[in-house]
Structure 1
Amino acid sequence: MEITAAVVAEIGGEFSLDKVSLDAPAADEVLVEIAGVGLCHTDLAVKEGHLPFPLPGVFGHEGSGVVVEVGSAVTKVRKGDKVALSFNSCGRCRQCKKAAPAYCHEFMAFNFSGARPDGTSALSIAGTAVGGNFFGQSSLGTHAIAHERNVVKVSDLAPLTLVGPLGCGIQTGAGAVLNSLDCEAGSSLVVLGGGSVGLSAVLAAVVRELTVIIVVEPLQARRDLALSLGATHAIDPADGPLSGQIRSIIPGGVDYAVDTTAIVPVLEQTLLSLAPHATLGILGVPADPTSALSVNLIQAQVLGVTITAIVEGDSDPDTFIPELLELHQAGRFPFEKLITTMPFARINEAVAAQHRGEAVKIVLVHE
């Protein structure tokens, strides 16, 4: 079938809305008509060449929509089901069998290769293959081919247009608190960065009933939003060294830290802000892939700190996305407050607006 998709032709290029041919679903694939797709930092990082992907290509990995057709071997969903799309995984390796698909041994191949596992692409222009299968979906289009493993059926009560970001950014931030760090009620947390991932961590911290939730964010509007979502403190990094600001709030240091910035000086200041036996979770994608964090070994040993890297919030989307939607239905996880919708045709305007900080999470919708 012919679809309209946002194609990037070269590193650093803008999105171009082009007519693209989309194959019918293979045996284990699902054809989804896209209702909404989140614009994620990872899409833009790949567009700028910070992560590998073949171009021209179609990104998009926070899609949601309605199943149009399923392959002959698919039993998980059927035509007409409402679904959220998440990252892909092999289902065979040790981590997948342990319900830890975010650490699939073939994660890069299944999400960044630009092709299906058999090497083909479901997308082409004038007979020439286009990079696709981004996070198993390439959902920046009117339709997408996903795989049985990375579609998650959602309730008819779910806000279908908005649920796509649960498949990546929102589940990453919330999962960091609820899964990876498993923050204890009554403990303290600092969140570095007030974007969609960081603010999702705040929402999860409120669910987990943490008593001190500090957000570090340079934009006043996002600091205000963080406080409205349940953060107890919001500080501007321009007001002085982070460690001093954080310890003025909680002198003994914080129990948990979630970093979404991947900025080395921010991480170094965060290490100086930790309490004994604290844990720092690293979520951000650095602009420079060679970035490295230097750790004072004596300090780390004396405090007994743990530094852990987190992918997708240690989530199994099949179970975690429904859990987040149940919390949302109960009024305890209002993720819609993070989202601004814009027409899909205005994707380049959306990129610019998100870059300027005018929106936390933009979801592109088809008119």
Structure 2
Amino acid sequence: MKILAAVVNGINEEYKFEKLSLAEIQPDEVLIKVVATGICHSDEALRVGDAEFPLPAVLGHEGAGIVEEVGSSVKGFKIGDQVVMSYKYCGHCTSCRSGRPAACDSWAKLNMHGTREDGTHTFYKENGTPVSNFFSQSSFATHTLVHENNLVKVDDTVDLRYIGPLGCGFLTGCGTVVNGLQPKFGSSIAIFGTGAVGLGALMTAKIEGCKTIIAIDVHDSRLKLAKELGATHTINSMNEDLGARILEITEGSGVNYSIDTTGVAAVMKASIDVLGIGGVCAPVAVTPNSIEINTLMDLVFANRKLIGVLMGDTVPQIAIPQLIQYQKSGQFPFEKLVKFYKFEQINEASVDSNNGSTIKPILIIDESYRAEEPLI
């Protein structure tokens, strides 16, 4: 089967549209016609080489689409189903069977090695060169083959053009709060960076009953939006003394929880420094940067915790339908954060995401889908 995909052929190269061959479907796979996909910072990290990944590759891991074919062993999906694509997990290791697929023993192999579990590829160039697959999904394509564990079925009434980012960015923000930090009702939280992950965390912190929600960024426009979405306080760290302002807001105690979504070394360290006694910090950005901490002074003396949370430690098949319901009730209005682009505008969308002018770009790949219904 011939498809059209946006391919990254080398580090820091732009996306290039190419016709690729799609491999034969395997028994546990599903053929998806991609309707729309978000662009995530993780895609950019791989494109520019901040995270190692075999190139050439078809990136994209926030896809939504329609089932066109199912493998012989697939039981939970049928042709015509609407689905969101998320990460892959094995389903049989201790973590998976304990309800923590984001901690799957084989998570890195299944999502970051560029091939199927058996080592074969799903995409090939016209000259036979194999092209790597990302997240067992690769949604920057008109069609893709996806393992059934990647898929979340959604109701036919749901507009697929909006919900792809629920598969990673918003899922990570939400899950980091609910499953990682588990904030107590009435507690305080500082969120560093108001992109999709940060604002997803912010909206969830409000849902979970945090009393003090502090959004930190360097873009006033994003901070204004953060205020609309539930931030009780905002700080432009370019113009204010961050530490002093947080002490003022928290009456000298520091915050109970913090999340860093920026991956900037100085900001990651600040997200620890603003914690009060017993505070918990979750740095979740995909970044090549590291920080130096003094475990005794930065953590032990104040009984602080530094935790890692991958993909929000979520079960996508449970969390994504919940987020859709939160959106419908007005509690998680992620539609305010998106901007739509045509598929051929992928390089423009990538630039806009990187410079902060667009919080969550969404590429419309199948323009015939609900063409009679205007986008917001």
Q: Same fold (TM over 0.5)?
A: yes
Distance 1:108 1:248 in 2: 42
Letter in 1 for 2:85: L
**C-alpha distance after superposition, 1:40-90 (max 9, x if no partner):** 100110011122222111011000011111100001111111000001111
- The equivalent of 2:87 in structure 1 is 87
Larger mean CA deviation between 253-262 and 89-98 belongs to 89-98
Distance 1:153 1:51 in 2: 30
- The equivalent of 1:149 in structure 2 is 149
- The equivalent of 2:285 in structure 1 is 284
- Contact 1:121 1:129 (8 Å CA) reproduced: no
Letter in 1 for 2:278: H
- Contact 2:45 2:287 (8 Å CA) reproduced: no
Distance 1:334 1:116 in 2: 35
Relative to structure 1, the CA distance from residue 247 to residue 157 in structure 2 (aligned partners, 3 Å threshold; closer, same or farther) is farther
Q: Cα offset for 1:299?
A: 4.4
Distance 2:264 2:354 in 1: 17
- Contact 1:243 1:270 (8 Å CA) reproduced: no
Q: Cα offset for 1:361?
A: 0.5
- The equivalent of 1:273 in structure 2 is 274
- The equivalent of 2:212 in structure 1 is 212
**Count of aligned positions:** 365
Give the match's secondary structure for 2:115.
Answer: coil
- The equivalent of 2:24 in structure 1 is 24
Q: Cα offset for 1:136?
A: 1.0
Structure 2 gap ranges (5+): 368-376
Give the match's secondary structure for 1:303.
Answer: coil
- The equivalent of 1:254 in structure 2 is 255
- The equivalent of 1:305 in structure 2 is 304
- The equivalent of 2:358 in structure 1 is 359
Relative to structure 1, the CA distance from residue 145 to residue 323 in structure 2 (aligned partners, 3 Å threshold; closer, same or farther) is same
- The equivalent of 2:176 in structure 1 is 176
Give the match's secondary structure for 1:239.
Answer: coil
- Contact 1:246 1:253 (8 Å CA) reproduced: yes
Distance 2:337 2:166 in 1: 12
Indicate whether 1:115 and 2:120 are aligned: no
Letter in 2 for 1:128: G
Distance 1:59 1:261 in 2: 21
Give the match's secondary structure for 1:18.
Answer: strand
State how 1:185-200 maps to structure 2 within 5 Å. Answer: 185-200=185-200
Give the match's secondary structure for 2:238.
Answer: helix
Distance 1:134 1:228 in 2: 34
**C-alpha distance after superposition, 1:220-279 (max 9, x if no partner):** 111111011111111111124422121121121111101111222112222221111111
- The equivalent of 2:313 in structure 1 is 314
Structure 1 gap ranges (5+): none
Distance 1:265 1:198 in 2: 17
Distance 1:300 1:125 in 2: 50
- Contact 1:279 1:306 (8 Å CA) reproduced: yes
- Contact 1:133 1:146 (8 Å CA) reproduced: no
Give the match's secondary structure for 1:135.
Answer: coil
Give the match's secondary structure for 1:136.
Answer: coil
Distance 2:93 2:236 in 1: 43
- Contact 1:59 1:139 (8 Å CA) reproduced: yes
Indicate whether 1:349 and 2:348 are aligned: yes
- Contact 2:56 2:132 (8 Å CA) reproduced: no
Q: Cα offset for 1:133?
A: 2.8
Indicate whether 1:34 and 2:34 are aligned: yes
Q: Cα offset for 1:215?
A: 0.6
Indicate whether 1:335 and 2:323 are aligned: no
Distance 1:303 1:44 in 2: 36
Letter in 2 for 1:7: V
TM-score, scaled to structure 1: 0.96
Letter in 2 for 1:331: G
Larger mean CA deviation between 92-101 and 340-349 belongs to 92-101
Distance 2:249 2:157 in 1: 40
- Contact 2:38 2:60 (8 Å CA) reproduced: yes
Give the match's secondary structure for 1:238.
Answer: coil
- The equivalent of 1:162 in structure 2 is 162
Distance 1:54 1:273 in 2: 38
Distance 1:133 1:65 in 2: 17
Q: Cα offset for 1:296?
A: 4.2
- Contact 2:55 2:132 (8 Å CA) reproduced: no
**C-alpha distance after superposition, 1:141-200 (max 9, x if no partner):** 111111010100011232211111111111000111111111122111100001100000
Give the match's secondary structure for 1:6.
Answer: strand
Q: Cα offset for 1:21?
A: 0.8
Give the match's secondary structure for 2:349.
Answer: helix
Distance 1:173 1:111 in 2: 19
- Contact 1:53 1:131 (8 Å CA) reproduced: no
Q: Cα offset for 1:3?
A: 0.8
Runs (4 or more) in structure 1 with deviation over 3 Å come to none
Give the match's secondary structure for 1:131.
Answer: strand
Distance 1:132 1:82 in 2: 25
Letter in 1 for 2:282: G
Relative to structure 1, the CA distance from residue 287 to residue 241 in structure 2 (aligned partners, 3 Å threshold; closer, same or farther) is farther
